[in-house]
Amino acid sequence: MILPPATLGMLGGGQLGRFFVAAAHELGYPVWVLDPDPHSPAGLIADRHLVAGYDDYPVLDELAQGCTAISTEFENVPAGSLDYLAKFVLVRPAAAAVSVCQNRIAEKEFLRRHHLPIADFIAVHSEHDLRAAPLSLFPAILKVARFGYDGKGQAVVAGRDEAIAAFQHFKGETCVLEQKLALGSEISVVLARDEDGQVKSFPSAENSHRKGILDVSLVPARLSPMLRAEAAELAEKIAAGLGYIGTLAVEFFVVEDQLVVNEMAPRPHNSGHYTLDACLTSQYEQQVRALCGLPLGDPRAHSAAAMVNLLGDIWYETGPAGTRYREPDWSRLHAFPGLKLHLYGKHHARHGRKMGHFTVVDEDPEKARAVALAARTAIGIVDAP
């Protein structure tokens, strides 16, 4: 076990890293954060913030010398940097596991090798691959293989011509072309796995998106207990196949009461924010525990929950004089019973930027959902969830 006052390292300074720092502090660990943004949310509360790129090797040396163990909060940290750090210090999850999740082709091929349910797909390296794509694959979604998130780098295409046009729009980047499914719903499972292979899974969340970004998560997911159990089993199989140590999220499509794996995230997940307020142990505390070799905590939910993302859009108010930037009226949220507000400390709001979230907890799942949707409207989110 790695025990306090050992110093932990975090690659990435976003809100997921910020919650990791808070969880580590509560357990007695100082944390150093590496992130190139001097205003990063995690860096603001870290014991030390190294403002540098993830491939700055002198700074990586400094991080390795100052920390006993290092983790990451997002999958696009260069795998080479993780490999380099692992020569000197404990790194969890390992670069090999993270690299699978960094590339959609590698991810899809991993899932197919492990006989997990996925949508039909082909790898796209050139226009020739699209011209040869089977017609049965359409309508489809063309996705860039790397660095796509929150709906970015994706295009729905009806046929080969649209796919080629989208590929050209993506400047010929390597992509996957994936069959578009008739979705009933989308869910996610967040779990933690330790070095002995023990797994603790949180209750699955039912997710809805707005403009490609997670909007609302409901827990428990409105699925049969059998499907929820199957989702947890599939997620655990993925973690075992990766040899994963840490917190992992797996997203699923539900198609006619069948589960289809969408993608994995080698880190805590936006849809797991609810664990801060509704579970005995949060996904961030589990990340600390798995990193340090502590026994994993109890992931049980003590309440139902509904989580709502707060994007930068609500900082902008449109009126007769035009659009103005102002702080939302948070008193509108605090008026709702059972609501827990979390703001990330980001220094400027932009449209589509994740600025915070709130979670409503209640014994009754439907009441939690109703209160959350009412609060969502009250703070100025007008689109239907």
CATH of the domain at 69: 3.40.50.20
| Statement to judge: residues 270 and 358 lie in one domain | yes
Other beta carbons within 10 Å of 8? 28
Measured CA to CA in angstroms, residue 32 lies from 42, 66, 242, 246 at distances of: 9, 8, 27, 18
Secondary structure (DSSP) of 133-189: S-GGG-SEEEEESSS--TTTTEEEESSHHHHHHHHHHTTT--EEEEEPP--SEEEEE
Tell me: is residue 148 an annotated ligand-binding position: yes
Nearest to 181 by CA among 260, 93, 68: 260
- Helix, strand, or coil here: 87? coil
Query: Which CATH number characterizes residue 367's domain?
Result: 3.30.470.20
Q: Is 150 annotated as a binding residue?
A: yes
- Tell whether the torsion through CA atoms of 165, 167, 169 and 171 is positive or negative: negative
**Residue 152 annotated as lining a ligand binding site:** yes
Residues 43 and 124 in one domain: no
Same domain membership, residue 216 and residue 332: yes
**Structure token digits, residue 113:** 């090798």
Sign of the alpha-carbon dihedral angle for 174, 91, 110, 202: negative
Cβ atoms 265, 244 nearer than 8 A: no
Token couple for 189 = 């499972």
| Distant-in-sequence, close-in-space partners of 352: CB < 8 Å, separation ≥ 6 | 150, 211, 213, 311, 312, 313
Question: Is 186 a known ligand-binding residue?
Answer: yes
Is there a binding annotation on residue 178? yes
- Could you tell me if 287 and 20 are in contact, meaning their C-beta atoms sit under 8 angstroms apart? yes
Q: Is 297 annotated as a binding residue?
A: no
104 labeled binding residue: yes
Q: Is residue 110 part of a domain?
A: no
- What one-letter code names the amino acid at 259? L
Q: Do residues 156 and 272 share a domain?
A: no
Cis peptide bond prior to 220, omega within 30° of 0? yes
Sheet holding 154-157, edge to edge: 121-124, 175-179, 140-144, 154-157
Find out whether the peptide bond into 41 is cis, omega within 30 degrees of 0. no
Residue among 120, 248, 259, 237 at smallest CA distance from 185: 259
Which of 133, 158, 179 corresponds to the end of one domain?
Answer: 179
156 and 203 share a domain? Answer: no
In-domain check, residue 111: no
Residue 154 assigned as binding residue: yes
Q: Looking at the structure, do residues 356 and 240 belong to the same domain, yes or no?
A: yes
Distances (CA, A) of 200 to 64, 96, 170, 258, 284: 29, 22, 39, 23, 13
N-to-C CA span, the chain? 44
Could you read off the pLDDT tens digit of each residue along the chain, which spans 385 residues? Answer: 999 999 999 999 999 999 999 999 999 999 999 999 999 999 999 999 999 999 999 999 999 999 999 999 988 889 899 999 999 999 999 999 999 999 999 999 999 999 999 999 999 999 999 999 999 999 999 999 987 665 578 999 999 999 999 999 999 999 999 999 999 999 999 999 999 999 999 999 999 999 889 999 999 999 999 999 999 999 999 999 999 999 999 999 999 999 999 999 999 999 999 999 999 999 999 999 999 999 999 999 999 999 999 999 999 988 787 889 999 999 999 999 999 999 999 989 999 999 999 999 999 999 999 999 999 999 999 887 7
Instruction: Say how many domains are in the chain.
Output: 3
Identify the pLDDT of residue 76. Answer: 84
Q: Quick one: 124 and 31 in the same domain?
A: no
CATH number of the domain residue 161 falls in: 3.30.1490.20
Same structural domain, 309 and 324: yes
Q: Which helix (H) or strand (E) holds 233?
A: helix 225-242
CA–CA separation, 285 vs 236, rounded Å? 19
The single-letter code of the amino acid at 161 is: D
Residues 197 and 137 both lie in one domain: no
- 274 in a labelled binding site: no
Assess contact for 140 and 177: CB atoms under 8 A.
Answer: yes
Query: Do 83 and 189 belong to one domain?
Result: no
| 56 inside domain | yes
Q: Per residue in 167-186, is it b (16+ CB within 10 Å) or e — as a string?
A: beebeebbbbbbbebeeeeb
Whether the link from the prior residue into 385 is cis, omega within 30° of 0, is: no
Residues 220 and 317 in one domain: yes
Predicted model pTM: 0.95
Residue 263 annotated as part of some ligand binding site: yes
Residues 235 and 328 both lie in one domain: yes
Which range of residues forms the domain containing residue 272?
Answer: 185-378
Burial group, residue 62, by CB count within 10 angstroms (0-12, 13-18, 19+): middle
**312 within 8 A of 351, measured Cβ to Cβ:** yes
Whether the CA torsion 368, 371, 373, 376 is positive or negative: it is negative
Residues 267, 292: Cα–Cα separation, whole Å:
15
Domain end residue (candidates: 50, 72, 91): 91
